[in-house]
Structure 1
């Protein structure tokens, strides 16, 4: 149906009649709806809500009106329209026809008419529109029964997350002409003080209102607003409680949809000073409504099929078949009457009961109201026409409508195939004859264009094949006609009917579509299996892919195999390892008429015999890896039975299709393991693998020699094979890690393993190299440490290497010790005064000694030089001490000392001390006592109460250097008495006996004198 108020022109044109257009009301306007006609009450809200900028656009809603018959009489077929929208914002949605078919409405009864409206923008000024009620289809009515005016405003609102839909359920797949219920479950969230609730089953601008015509609603609420509200979408005055609701909306399925329809149910509630709508966050997850399907079709027949030349009355029967699972209601059935015929009033029946006469316009008879067909059933509409006495064929063409959707001879809604039925008025003359039909066979589906030859064919009205009429009958001339065969089966009579009679039959044979049998085969393993497809003459075959579509192939079933097609042979090649009944491949056989039949080819694959496994053996030397290669089937596997480790012998392993045995070092003999081969089909066999290990050549131990100096350790290194042991042999041939040769030295054996061993372990004694399965050879070291003083060729030590197989080799190690360098002896010196012994230390060589040599060159520990002092030696430390005599000054005669090492090598040198006199000094460590010199020969002495003796006046005439710092004194302890010296004075406590304090006066270069004060058994008094 069009979106305006015009009946679909295409549908009417298909009937051969002019379009039926709904015209404007006549000059005398229809009355306002009221008590004498019908009342119209709006049951939806006065505001249409929209959310600007939303995507998909939320700008539409249903406006619903309750129409009540107040006329006091039944209305046979009520239609309602909406239009005359006054404003620029609000109008019908693009998919809304503006026309609702209510049907029969008894006196006092009510029904709903709902229309899907859209608001372009927000508008606060009410915009008017008009609802009109008609007693028949508007394009057939002289005027509306009554009109009612309403107005709407448009208001923007926003989403409220608490106002949400939790589920949407459609009752079934919608069927054209049937009914659909959509159940919405949701919660409003808290309703604001204004108490507003308004609902619509759809809100998207894309909602297909031309396919779904809202006819009713039930809203059931629970909570603070508990109650059930029927056929009303607007509920003001609710309290503020959040409310759970279940809304059920009923639709008449009035059109088709190409695909599933997204749902967009919406409620608008008051929230504070605003109105907020249902959140659309989960709309994409709500299940859509499936696409509309059509299961209704029409057929028409005429009776009698032939009338005499004078004409008569004929009956046309239209059978409406509903093959679907839901009852359907047609809005109309429209029959285009044969030209020249007239409808017989009162002759119409539907379902065996009388029905209203049709509205007749331009040769079209439109039957309205009551056109209900139960699910899986059919109903017949019959009517009669008066046929004139004019020879010829009279054909009635019939279609039905559900809103704008056309119901015809097929269930397709866009193919324009009206159902037709015909009768013939016979003429006067010679009947036709048929001599041949070509081709004389065709597909069972019909559609074969045949050429019929004969005589008197000019007035042909019907070509019948079996019980069905051919179509597209064309009279070429009096001897030739063409026609298209109807569907049929087997050999059928073909006759030609003209106005003067019916011919004798000829045979036309329907060839059934190919019905190939399913094919099977069996095979072993990967062997190809084939099946030959029987083909009809001039036929062919193609494979079908997994979706059932034709393909040139190959068709591969993962994990099973591949199907190929060559001519009429299908081949299945299994993949290695697959056994069982394969997933069948479909194939399609096509005959020369294009008819097809499908079947399958199912191969069964049995596994080949299982593999065999033979005992295997190998041999090798020592730790060399041994390898054998078992026979493994293609695609199979090789594995050990068990872990493969054989304690104390070695390890069996699988490596890239081979078996290996790696012996443990030290093992000889045989080791065995079980192996298993498994084919691609899971069949297996086991056998043994025995490896024989022979020992390797025994180890070698070459003799070694080294040379070293003195006590420096000498060492030799040698290789110890993996897993072998190394040991020294003592004089008795016993294993040892150290061997000592008295007075010569000691041999020790060192290996990395021994270095890590804990003392007391057995391997510590034998320096054992532990056997390991895989380990590189290591290095052992024999060290000879000579005793001090020994030189020469040491007695050799024997060492032995024993491999992991118990094989040994013995060799010797002979070190040679040479003399070290002779010990050094360097001249020694020291300096001190005549009151303090002087000391030097001479290094004593290890194992050697130091001695003084007297004047005769004999060793001594003390050498005394008369008038000078005495030298003494500490032999243990090498310390030489010189003690000067008290009055000695100068350099004494040096002493000679001799250093001898452990090897008897010696060297001599001298020790020369130097002795200087002492002088006094102030306690504070100031300058030496300075005495003025009044003459070149006589120094002036200042004494403070001292008994002094000036010694050696001649000394004063010598030029002496300034006294060294060592001559400064702060005190001397003599006989447990204290004495000291100070600047220009000497003081202290004197004993009863007087002693002499001597001043040695030395003349300095600058003309001054310095006094060196010396105490000689002196005390102070």
Structure 2
């Protein structure tokens, strides 16, 4: 090669360069390994550069396939040409890995070819050769012993041929024919679990030692090993104890004979229902009751509701899980129900209802209930469905059928000890089947009535004509002994009332004159105090007033009455005439004097005033009178009379009568008389 350069003037100069290259050849060392069957093996091949100038290019390390072409992975084969695994190489370290895929193979393996190149691209190859040594697992047989019907297990011991090739837990164990379940007629069923544990479920009736079964497992390479499992079954026998119960008449009873397993691990078979000894589960004995046995051996006895005493025994049969039977009896006893009565008495005041409840005690209420309480009709001596019966002259007895409480409502006038009444209770015994029977019992109820009547005193009043009057009759209760204690009757609040002419209770009623027919006012009563008010409507009436009846009721319902009588004292107004005098032609006025009448009532002076609301009039009812030739009279509402004389009239004019009335309408009259004196003019001559 010629190299040319020039100086600062541009003058050129040239010279030649000739190199010499010597060859560089890399080398390689093969690798071998030996390992147990089924395990991964590795070997490290070594590549050495021919000169440090051209080191081995690690990225060029590769396997060569059968065609000599680079490959990341190639099949590993046996000398027979079967693929038994794969080769891979780590470029960084030169480690070649043999991964077996057919783990059942052992022996020689065809070597893997490995190639590398230096940085000049010069290649070199070598080999990796693994060898597989065989691994064979071993096994030991297993036995077990247990009771009849019990499931047994046993597990043959499988030992790997090499600790690096353990038994393969991912491959389930089987029996020697490849199955996992075997059933042997008359013996039982064997099942092998994936880990080689054999479960033997004997027939419940089998006892003894059967022929065993062979179990097979493989190791991680699939190499099999076998061993036997042989169980032994020992017999079990259950026992039973009888049961007895007692209960009240009609009540369902239950009893359970005790069945005890022959071994705690062979319990009684709850899946097989218990029966009676004839194979049935229900028995009915006429007049006694019905027995029913439940699946667990519990016997339920539903007695006839009328039966008492010890019932016939029944035999119960059960079996254990193996089907081995045991039997025992069950015997129920029925105790009778009784109904005990208690008589009752009571005492209270006249006309007040009394209540008492004759009682009936059931000896047991589990199955019996008192279903009715009825009165005995005194007329027939038999129980009646009616809730009330009446004893003439005494009163009425009424029963509450629900509670049995008897209420005696005496006649108003009855006092003393009543004949009483009988109550019959019926108790119904009902069994679980709904069948019934009854028992009865009688109890008496006798009331006593203590006399208790309130008293009443009349009232009177007197007042002036037209005045409203009041009077309060006196009503009083009384105190009597009841059951040894004082009992006071009082007058009921708001029980005061008036009685009209027909005896009806009213709060107001007309008031009549002494003739009993002429209505002159009204009576009214304060219901709370009993005060009676007489309000006159005809204020012109005086004298006696027909009494009104006043009634009150005591706290025990006894009504008594008395009277209230008002008296009206007459009152007459007073009037005085008046006269006036004045000269001829002058208007005159005069006012008769009217004053209310006054009387003394019970020492008290009382006046009825003139009624200023009623205008005064003349006696003919007019308010103006004209007398020809005399003049004109006019009366004002207050009674003042104005007289306007004619101008020519002189002398005493005729009197006029002025009428006024008091507040009762009672009239009074007085006259007014004017006198006119003449007026005569005079003349003086000149």
Q: TM-score, normalised by structure 2?
A: 0.46
| Structure with bigger RCO (C-alpha 8 Å, 6+ apart) | 2
Flag the structure with higher strand content. Answer: 2
The structure having more radius of gyration, on CA atoms, is: 2
